[in-house]
Chains A and B, each alone.
Chain A
Amino acid sequence: MSGATPEKGNFMRLLYGLLTAFLIVTLWGCEAPPPPEKRGETPGGVSGSRPEVSGAALRIAMVTDAGGIDDKSFNASSWAGLTRAHEEFQFAMKPVFIESREQSDYETNLTDLALKGNHLIFAVGYLTEDALKKVAPRFPDVKFAIIDGNAPDLPNCLALKFREQEGCFLAGYLAGKMSRTKKIAYVGGMEGALMKRFEVGYIAGARTAEPGIQVQVKYIGNWTDMPKGKDLAILLMSQGVDILFAAAGKGGEGVLRAVNERGPGFYAIGVDADQDYMFPGRVLTSMMKRVDNAVYETVADLYRGKWKPGERVLGIREGGLSLSPMKYTRKDVPPKVLEEIEKLTRMIAEGKLIVPTNDEELAKFVAPKI
């Protein structure tokens, strides 16, 4: 056709090659771990020759979900737990992470980290469930811990779960007490059983504080759309909502930004990590899911040779959930409300108050006497 001369052909091949190389490098992601020392494992991963390791020789890694390491909440909190463990136990190798973009990345990333000689791999988020089911049986010597999801019934798998509704209940109670318009909102990322617990716990808490409160429930539809999160928050505030609980990954940060721009009279509530610092005074509190603690303790257990597979469910009692210390907003909250929240916290911890987890339980929920 276009009669490419041999030189032109070579030139093109070179360019294709360069482009491909560039793509591979960028797709590799950041923080590629150093090449593993060969341990004689076959590519299939079935080796059985890797010795049980604990102590400073441990190599630990994590796979993020689509939110990425920079989500300032869930993944970031997991990573903070790993970093803390590394600082304390001084592993010879720094922990590494790989970020996932899509569903199809999880299996590749988990396999990749297992092949690279890591001893413990965290899979962050319930979306990694299926990938873990496929990868874990192939690497019996590698330990896997999934956060927020179900683990396959294998001796090398641990599931770390949370009773998010308990922390969201407290956040909802505070929002209900602090709202002047008696209109508050919940902004979630993607609908599902997990996010339902957030939603329902928040609503139950708000109704306990203020029986007639109106709670708007919105979902952005993904975890990355910061512009849409911001626009949604602007819409809600223009319709009289004055406190917005943002549990939507980067979209949630958009909500926080919108509230900050709107200024006094409006509050956001952060999620997962302590996000109060992001916009001091405008983030009323953060529903902290102590993924960092869960991750840290799992690493510590393995470090001390006390790894246990199965499932660990953390709630308020286990220190898995709490409201942030409210460094910037505590002074704005009436002391009576703070006392009531402490009392509710105790009631939940002692099992005297069971927070609903789905719509049916919410319909039957009777607000406790405080």
Chain B
Amino acid sequence: MESEGISAIVVPLILLTLRQTTPLVLAGLGGIFSERVGVVNIALEGMMLIGGFVGIWVGQSAGVLAGALAAILSGALTGSLHLFMTQRLKMDHIISGVAINLLALNGTTYLLRKLYVMAEPIRDASVPTTIPVGYFIALTLSLPFLAHFVLYKTAFGLRLRAVGESAESVRMAGLTPIRLRTAGLLISGMLGGLAGAYLALSQVGRFSDDMVSGRGFIALAAVVCGRWTPLGAALAALIFGFFDALQLQLQGVVNIPSQFLLMVPYVFTILAALVLRPTPPAALGREEETEG
């Protein structure tokens, strides 16, 4: 099982890269569908956490596939909350996102304690069988192309992108901006929930508090580096995933402090921001009248 030369190192590294990249790509696509309709989405982290928790909770009694479906729905629900707060209440998008993240982190931790750890009798927040990781990797390899097709080759995608540039012009064209934003946020939430389902139901098989550990933010960094395009974001996520896998492989082998390698995604983001000068959708985070 070892020492077949270079492939003994490379194949596990590729597999590790794919496993690390999957949640970033799924959540990153979620970020795109939100931001392309003009809503800043730092709530991805929270969407993933809620998705993961709900996935395990439902998955325990109704099976893992039902769990994954519930995770997707819970993500959509979280997306609607973000939509409601940013569009209806005109709350600042960042504040709404932070509120959702805090709510998700503390809410899932609280429920984990109440329903599992401190319950009588103690229950384990895990599922006996997991969804094969391969399913999610296949999704990761195909969804960016599907998202690209939807956004750039369909009328629906054109409208989504238009509302992210200017709600006013969309209204002039006889469409209702809020409906498009609703669609974007629902898709965004579903993908965020799916990313959480991957972590909890497939990759680990258990929910633990803060198991997302910042992946939502890295996914958002991938969105920026990928200039708000599905293929670009997926590529950026792949690079982040690769560097993460590489630093795990190199630790203790070469004498580079691990903290240094852990910085890579962030340094990369700053560099990309300087070099690529990505332009966000024009209406991103802007307060506009979207109803009526």
B209 touches A70 (CB 8 A): yes
Q: How far is the CB of B225 from chain A (nearest CB, A)?
A: 21
B107 neighbours in A (Cβ, 8 Å): 26
Known: A224-B209, A239-B12. A68 touches B19 (CB 8 A): no
B209 neighbours in A (Cβ, 8 Å): 68, 70, 224, 250
Q: How far is the CB of B94 from chain A (nearest CB, A)?
A: 15
B9 touches A228 (CB 8 A): no
A41 located at the interface, meaning its Cβ lies under 8 Å from any Cβ of chain B in the complex: no
Q: Report B222-265 residues with CB < 8 Å from chain A CB.
A: 244-245, 248-249, 251-252, 257-259, 262
Q: Considering the chains assembled together, what is the distance between the CA atoms of A368 and B227 in angstroms?
A: 60
A221 touches B117 (CB 8 A): no
Interface string of A216-258 (1 = CB under 8 A from B): 1111011011111011101100111000000000100110010
The size class of the interface chain A forms with chain B is: 35 or more
Interface string of B14-27 (1 = CB under 8 A from A): 01100110010000
Known: A226-B211, A239-B12. A26 touches B110 (CB 8 A): yes
A225 touches B259 (CB 8 A): no
A31, A235, A254 interface centre (most CB from chain B within 10 Å): A235
B181 neighbours in A (Cβ, 8 Å): none
A230 neighbours in B (Cβ, 8 Å): 203-204
Among A15-23, A161-169, A313-321, A350-358, the stretch that binds chain B is A15-23
A235 touches B204 (CB 8 A): no
A26 touches B106 (CB 8 A): yes
Q: How far is the CB of A23 from chain B (nearest CB, A)?
A: 6
A30 touches B287 (CB 8 A): no
B206 touches A225 (CB 8 A): no
B110 touches A250 (CB 8 A): no
Residue of B nearest to A220 (CB): B248
A226 touches B206 (CB 8 A): yes
Interface string of A23-34 (1 = CB under 8 A from B): 100110111000
Q: Considering the chains assembled together, what is the distance between the CA atoms of A70 and B118 in angstroms?
A: 9
B102 neighbours in A (Cβ, 8 Å): 23, 26-27
Interface residues of A (CB under 8 A from B): 1-2, 12, 15-16, 19, 22-23, 26-27, 29-31, 66, 68-70, 99, 101, 181, 191, 216-219, 221-222, 224-228, 230-232, 234-235, 238-240, 250, 253-254, 257
Nearest first, the 4 closest Cβ-Cβ pairs linking A and B are A240-B2, A26-B106, A238-B12, A225-B213
